[in-house]
Amino acid sequence: METKTQFSVFLVNRPNVLTQVCRALAEARVNILAMTMMDGQEHGVLRLVPATAAKARGALKKMNAAFTESEVLLVEMPNNPGAAADVCEKLGANKVAINYMYCSTAGSGKAVGIFRVTNVEKAKKVLATKAKANRDTRVRKRQPAKRR
């Protein structure tokens, strides 16, 4: 689990606008960890989490793109049914609101959930506690019982 900078880029709904942004990021050698695009009547919002925020920021500024930045939480989880629900449930039970989330997978059995939450530090503590409890449970299950 880690925090990263997410860019929300505001794009007009016209052909090749998304292409221009993706090309500018590619030319700046920006590796994108996760990305989602949402549309609206007049414009769309491209949300992306780059590996290096400075490179992405530079590329977006160079093309005069309208964007904002925010801190998001990247949570590695198993790529199976219920994994996102478990994270959401843990955050909700600890009074951490989720503004939005989306996921990225690479077919490796793992998924990364990108969570925009109201309190990043509290969310990190809550999820770190859960991760530690899960590790402790796995360790106890693997240890053979002592014979007397």
The string of DSSP codes covering 75-107 is: EEEESSTTHHHHHHHHHHHTT--EEEEEEEE-S
User: Is 2-70's fold the same as 71-142's?
Assistant: yes
As a whole number of angstroms, the distance between CA 102 and CA 137 comes to 28
User: Does residue 115 surpass a pLDDT of 60?
Assistant: yes
pLDDT recorded at residue 142: 44
Q: Could you tell me the pTM of the whole model?
A: 0.80
141: confidence class by pLDDT, cuts 50, 70, 90: very low
Is a pLDDT exceeding 50 seen at residue 119? yes
The predicted model gives 13-22 an average pLDDT of 92
Please state, in angstroms and rounded to a whole number, the distance separating the CA atoms of residues 87 and 127. 8
- Give the CATH fold of the 71-142 domain: VC0802-like (3.30.2130)
The residue-averaged pLDDT of 99-104 equals 92
CATH class of 2-70: alpha beta
pLDDT at 29 over 50: yes
Please report, for residues 58, 84, 115, 148, the alpha-carbon distance to residue 75 in angstroms, rounded to integers and kept in the order given: 26, 9, 8, 42
- Digit-coded pLDDT (tens) for 39-70: 877 789 999 999 999 999 999 999 999 999 99
Report, as an integer, the average pLDDT of 79-87. Answer: 93
Mean pLDDT of the chain: 87
* Domain extents in the chain: 2-70, 71-142
Q: How far is CA 102 from the centre of its chain?
A: 7
> If you write DSSP's letter for every residue of the chain in order, what string do you get?
-EEEEEEEEEEESSTTHHHHHHHHHHHTTPPEEEEEEEE-SSEEEEEEEES-HHHHHHHHHHTT-EEEEEEEEEEEEESSTTHHHHHHHHHHHTT--EEEEEEEE-SSSEEEEEEEES-HHHHHHHHHHHHHHHHHHHHHHHSPPPP-
